[in-house]
Structure formats: C-alpha cells, structure tokens
Amino acid sequence: MTMMLVHIGFTFPVSPCKIETKRFERKLCTKQSLNVDQIDYGCGGMANLIRHNETRRCECFDIYSELVPYKDAWYWQKSLVRKRQTSVKRCEDHADALIILQHHPVYTLGTGSSEKFLHFDIENAPYDLYRTERGGEVTYHGPGQLVMYPILNLRCHKMDLHWYLRSLEEVVIRALFTSFSIKASRIEGLTGVWFGNKKLAAVGIRVSQWITYHGLALNVTTDLSPFNQIVPCGIHDHHVGSLGEFLWASEKKGADENFNLMAIVHDSLLKEFSEVFQLSIEHKDIGDLQISTAKSVMHC
C-alpha cells in the first residue's frame, strides 16, 4: 500500500502508482483537477479553485452534539478510507465523507510524536492516550471542542498536501469571520488557526493513496486546563485558546449558552467546509457507519 505521511509543518511525499492515478484521472477527475476557471482570493487570502463541473457529493455523519470515544471515531475513519481505496483500485468514484463530533477527554500523539511533550507518566495518564498515524505532536480532545474528520479523495480536488492543510485552516478562518467577525489568521511556519498568540484550531492529517483522514479540532467552549498537562503540538512559546474565552472573557456561561454557541459554530463550519471544498452535503445516519465499521473490524 502506498502511503503518504504528513507531519505538521513537514511533508514526506511518496508518489502514488502512476498507472493507477492516470487511469483514475482520465475516467473521473479530469475536470476537477485541470479545468480551472479562475482563482478567487477570499477571506484569509486563500486561493480557491473555481471549477465548471458539478460539486462532489459528501456523505456527512453529523453527531456534533454527542461525545464519542476516540477509538470509535478512529475505526470509523479507517473504514471509510478503506472503502474509497477499494473504489480507486476499481477505477470507480465514491462520494467524499465527513464526520463531525466531540470526544470524551483524550490525548493523542502523532506517529512521530515525542513523549518529552507530556507532563505525566504515560503509565498513569490522566485520560486515555493514543498514538495515531496522523502528523504532528501531542494534542487534547474533549467536550466543547468541535472535531471534523474529512475523508476526501484529493485526486478529485487537488493533489497538493499544502493546499489541503491551508484549505482546512481556511474553513475555520471563514467560519469565525462570517459568524463572529473574528479575524483569525495563520502563523508562518506553523499549522493551525490563531487569534493573537493563542491557537484556536489544531490541524493534523494522514493521507493514504491520496485519501485523507484525521483533520481539525476547534476549541469552542473547551475546558483548557487539560492542555496544561502537555506541550500542545510541541510549541512552547504559544498558548491554546477557545472561542468562548474571547467572546465571553472571564464571564462563565451556562449549559444553554454553551450549547447555542456550539450550534452556531457547527453550522458555520459545515457551510464553509462545503464552499471551500465545493461539496454537496448529504446527511447520513450514523447507524450506517457503525454497522459498516463493525463488519470491517470483524474481518481484520
């Protein structure tokens, strides 16, 4: 299996099978990859490809208001990736996919993450700890943080990993500006979305045979104290922030206000995601994904 590993800030590309790529592009993706009408520099300065062809379908498994164990979402992603890899081998198209959720408290490490960025003994971690195949260093996921896991076939978008990373950042930048007039930005040499000196959204991805998984996490009403147990993303001289922190300052809000803010951010992120990647969102029942994943795991 041809793999491509993307670390935050660094890319280690491995060329996909040339025969397979050419066959697939001729049959399915010629227009998406090559027919560029114009370049539109929108909010945040991102160059977006405007194409003549119809938008691609994206199956959306949207459980943003629920807390999902990390290992379950991880299995779901890999199941969706395997399906799309099978379609590529058969020279068939398959809709892109998106999972939106929150996690129970958990720490995750990238494939090459250093344990020196942990302020605790891994044998006695305060929360579950997983080493994953994504790029980047350690981060925290928990309630109040919206997580988006896009499963995209980059053959039908743009086969450029830096473009993909910048596009994920652009989704967050646009959402914060359109809904809250917050002018978040990028910091040169770093991955993620920032407001001032604080990181609001982290991005860490894996790409296998040009199929993406893992994704982005935006702190909305997140309790930031678990970040004190790590060096988030291995960056010592920058801090982590949340949207609620900037909107409400030190004023503490109740469950209703937190839920309403999460709903607004969710709707804005989904809208901007569909526009940046030119996708038609089709909502799917999470039960379909759970059944499919269970079958896939049984066969492993």
Q: pLDDT tens digits for 262-292?
A: 999 999 999 999 999 999 999 999 888 765 5
Residue 229 has pLDDT above 90, yes or no: yes
Q: pLDDT tens digits for 53-98?
A: 568 999 999 999 999 999 999 999 999 999 999 999 998 889 999 9
Rounded to whole angstroms, how far apart are CA atoms 268 and 253? 21
Which residue among the candidates 29, 60, 156, 233 is catalytic per the annotation? 233
What 3-state DSSP class applies to 85? Answer: helix
Please name which of 138, 93, 129, 130 lies closest in space to residue 234, comparing C-alpha atoms: 138
Residue ranges and CATH numbers for the domains of the chain are: 56-298 (3.30.930.10)
Rounded to whole angstroms, how far apart are CA atoms 221 and 176? 14
Quote the pLDDT of residue 244.
94
Please name which of 256, 36, 276 lies closest in space to residue 165, comparing C-alpha atoms: 276
Strands 36-41, 198-208: pairing is unpaired
The whole-chain average pLDDT of the chain stands at: 82
Quote the pLDDT of residue 53.
55
Q: What sign does the CA torsion over 249, 185, 35, 206 have?
A: negative
Q: Which residues are CB-contacts of 208 (< 8 A; sequence separation ≥ 6)? A: 1, 2, 3, 4, 81, 85
Q: Which residues are CB-contacts of 116 (< 8 A; sequence separation ≥ 6)? A: none
Please name which of 1, 2, 3, 13 lies closest in space to residue 163, comparing C-alpha atoms: 13
Quote the pLDDT of residue 28.
40
DSSP 29: I
Q: Tally the C-alpha atoms within 13 A of residue 135's C-alpha that lie toward its C-beta.
A: 27
Rounded to whole angstroms, how far apart are CA atoms 151 and 268? 19
Please name which of 130, 164, 140, 201 lies closest in space to residue 4, comparing C-alpha atoms: 164
Residue 15 has pLDDT above 60, yes or no: no
Average pLDDT, stretch 180-201?
95
Rounded to whole angstroms, how far apart are CA atoms 28 and 210? 14
Give me Rg for the CA atoms of the chain. 19
Biggest CA–CA distance in the chain, Å, is 59
Contact criterion met (CB below 8 Å) for 282 and 59? yes
Q: Residue 40, class by beta-carbon neighbours within 10 Å (0-12 exposed, 13-18 middle, 19+ buried)?
A: exposed
Q: pLDDT tens digits for 129-170?
A: 999 999 999 999 999 999 999 999 999 999 999 999 999 999
- Predicted structure pTM score: 0.81
Average pLDDT, stretch 172-194?
96
Residue 58 annotated as catalytic: no
Q: pLDDT tens digits for 236-266?
A: 888 999 999 999 875 677 878 888 999 999 9
Contact criterion met (CB below 8 Å) for 221 and 203? no
Say which amino acid occupies 4.
Answer: M
What 3-state DSSP class applies to 129? Answer: strand
Quote the pLDDT of residue 33.
25
